[in-house]
Amino acid sequence: MVIGSTRPTRICGGIATWVRDRLHQDSDLGCELVDLAEIALPFLDEPVKAAAQQYEHEHTRAWSELVQGYHGFLFVFPQYNWGYPGVLKNALDYLYREWHDRPASLLTYGTRGGGKAAEQFISVLHGLHMRVLDTHIEAVVTDQDLGPDGQLRDLDRTLRPYRARLRKIGEELAEALSGRE
């Protein structure tokens, strides 16, 4: 699961943790959080395009290895100005073949669920030849859900309506991964 916001006061980490814990409860999938804030990739600085896999920088090799270690991905990120966070696009653009054929889904959030970000992101996943699952989540997070500190007042109350959909994503992911080690 990729945490797609790196803002210091982000709500993304809490949302991603909630999602991981529910997936652990509702499925046999082994999920780990990959925090782009910790990975801290610079803006794409490889001289050769990713398809050639001739990586000059250690940070790219480490990112490539990390991504290759996972069989599937669930991206969790907010809508920013009708799009998705640039840090996420940067992280995707670093690699190419590593994403191929990996099943992927997403959970976006925003005042209307982040559907515009989801649409753009799905298009990019197709460009990377990922296997986009049928189900994704657009979670509505409004100002009423946030406390004065800008954090979610009650994570479970805000996200509970999406639990059944999340279970479905877990099933689709498990199905896509069946037969793999």
Ligand X SMILES: Cc1cc2nc3c(=O)[nH]c(=O)nc-3n(C[C@H](O)[C@H](O)[C@H](O)COP(=O)(O)O)c2cc1C
- Closer residue to ligand X in complex, CB, 1/95: 1
> Taking contact as CB under 6 A, which single stretch among the options 27-35, 50-58, 67-75, 107-115 is the one that binds ligand X?
107-115
Distance CA 116, CA 84 (A): 8
Nearest residue to 177 (alpha-carbon basis) of 97, 103, 98, 76: 103
Residue that is written with structure tokens 């949302």 in the block = 15
State the CB neighbour count (10 A cutoff) for residue 112. 13
Q: How far is the CB of 71 from ligand X (least distance, A)?
A: 26
Cβ distance 108 to 78 under 8 Å? yes
- Closer residue to ligand X in complex, CB, 9/178: 9
Q: How far is the CB of 6 from ligand X (least distance, A)?
A: 8
Q: How many residues bind ligand X (CB under 6 A)?
A: 13
Figure out which of the listed residues 70, 80, 93, 122 binds ligand X, where binding follows CB under 6 A.
80
Which helix (H) or strand (E) segment holds residue 2: the answer is strand 2-3
- For 70-112, the DSSP string reads -S-EEEEEE-BTTB--HHHHHHHHT-SGGGTT-EEEEEEEETT
Q: How far is the CB of 9 from ligand X (least distance, A)?
A: 6
- Closer residue to ligand X in complex, CB, 6/64: 6
Site string for ligand X, 108-147 (x = CB under 6 A): --xxx-----------------------------------
Q: How far is the CB of 25 from ligand X (least distance, A)?
A: 23
- Closer residue to ligand X in complex, CB, 7/131: 7
Q: CB pairs under 8 A, 24+ apart, for 47-55?
A: 49/96, 50/93, 50/94, 50/95, 50/96, 50/97, 51/96, 51/97, 53/96, 53/97
Site for ligand X contains 87 (CB under 6 A): no
- Contacts to ligand X by CB under 6 A: 5, 7, 10-12, 78-82, 110-112
